[in-house]
Each structure stands twice: as structure tokens, then as C-alpha cells.
Amino acid sequence: MDIATLLGLSTGLTLVLGAIFMGGSLLQFFDVPSLMIVVGGTLASICVTYPFEEVFQAFSAGMKIFASRKVKDGEVVNMMVRIAEISRREGLLALENIQTENAILKKACQLIADNADAGLIRETLRIEIGSMKRRHAVGESVFKSLAGFSPSYGMIGTLIGLIQMLARLDDPKSIGPAMAVAIITTFYGALLSTLFFLPVAGKLRSRTLNETLQLEIIFEGAKCILENNNPRLVYEKLSSFIAPRERRYERRG
């Protein structure tokens, strides 16, 4: 469970609702047609912008930001060092039996165990990393578009309300409430974009950067194992990927 995501969203929502409550009634800020224009319009534009399957993919990725990150960078380094030790002790063929949840590490081990050409292994892993980045980028891109469309529909809703209000300016008393309703769509658009869509896009980006880094560690580790297969040098090189204070030990023996 990623506490920060939950805490951030609930705190933000509480603060905004609290501010509304302190100044009047919450009901005043609830307007179904305004919601329909902003939420419905934003979703409509997203469906034109991206293929259906990418929108689904993005929303299911968006759900995952509540789940906690599983693996630390340091653990990936340690795993690669362990694999180097196994391959040195038991030979490259032993890598076939490595158990891991990371599909790309699994593939790397199998290719090494198959005694595949070093160039092919490198290129295949490069393609895998590129594929992963591309798939992740879709989620970030969809949420960034949502963050762009929602304030636009907020403004479109406000323009509609404004035009209708201005056209019948007979009763000065109705101006205020009509304006208030017109501005609600702008409020919805800004709130959705600032409190939900932009932060979710940001978190998806953080996750992608993190996973990419771990794939880079696996990639460099696999290269090292293929080239000189010395666990100590593998550690020396891979530990450079992580922050100095997280390194197990700067020098081994």
C-alpha cells in the first residue's frame, strides 16, 4: 500500500471540502450538468485521442499507484551479484533455474544459459527495455492529456453559462447565482487536473524512472556476467547505480 498516494489524495480532498464547508454549504458546489460537461467531455476527448485499449491500460496503471513499490534498487544489485556468483560457481547453464518475478531478468538468464550470442542478448534486452518504457509512457501520457482536457472543458462550461447569463440580463438579482453556477465548471476542471490527473501522471513517471533504472542495472549486470564474470567487479560496477549511503560496503575484501 503506497501510504503517500492515499494520504495525499485524502488530505487534498479534505482541505478543499473543509474550505468549502467553512464558507457555506457543500451542496452549492455540487451541480450535475457541470459535472457532466467536465468529466464527460474530458473522457470523450480522451477516447478520441487514444485507442480504447490504451485508455484502459492507463486507467489500470493509474490504479496501481496505490500499490506499494516492491523491489529496492539495492536488492536488484544484490540479486545480480548473487547470479554472478552462481554462474561462476556452477557455470552459465545454472542460470536456467534462477527463480525471479522479473520477466526481463528471467529472459536474460535464459538467453545466457542458452549460450546465445552476446550481441543478440544485448539487443534483445535493449528492445525489452524500450518496450517496457513505451508501455509505461502510455499511462503517463493519458493522464497528462486528462490534466490538459479537464480545465479546457471547465472553461467551455463557464463560457456556456456566461453567454446564457449575459443574454438575459434583465434581472440583476439573478446575475450572481448564475455566475456562481457558470464558474463551478472551471472549479471542477482545475480541481480534477491539480488534485488527481497531474499527480497521478507524476507518480506513473516516477515509477517508470524507477523500473527503467532497475532494468539498466539488470542490463549492465548481464553484460558484466557475459564479459568477465567476476562477482566482485559486478558489485563494484552495479553499486554505482545506487546512492552511496545505500551501498552494502564500498570495498570487499
Query: Among residue numbers 15 through 74, which ones bind a copy of itself (CB under 8 A)?
Result: 15-16, 18-20, 22-24, 28-29, 33, 36-37, 40-41, 43-52, 54-55, 65, 69
By CB under 8 A, the residues from 73 to 92 that bind a copy of itself are none
Q: CA-CA distances (angstroms) from residue 180 to 18, 162, 216, 225?
A: 19, 10, 53, 66
- Exposure of 199 in the CB half-sphere (CA atoms within 13 A): 17
Q: Is 208 in the site for a copy of itself (CB under 8 A)?
A: no
Rounded Cα distance, 97 and 116, in Å = 16
Give me the residue label for grid cell 440583476: 172
Binding characters for a copy of itself, 127-156, by CB under 8 A (x = yes): xx--x--xx---------x--xx--xx-xx
Q: Is 237 in the site for a copy of itself (CB under 8 A)?
A: yes
CB contact at 8 A, 229 and 87: yes
Q: Which of 30, 93, 120, 248 binds a copy of itself (CB under 8 A)?
A: 120
By CB under 8 A, the residues from 171 to 200 that bind a copy of itself are 173, 175-177, 179-180, 183-184, 186-187, 190-191, 193-195, 198-200
Give me the residue label for grid cell 527503467: 212
Dihedrals φ, ψ of 27, to 5°?
A: -60, -30
3-state secondary structure of 31: coil
Minimum distance between the CB of residue 98 and a copy of itself, rounded to whole angstroms? Answer: 14
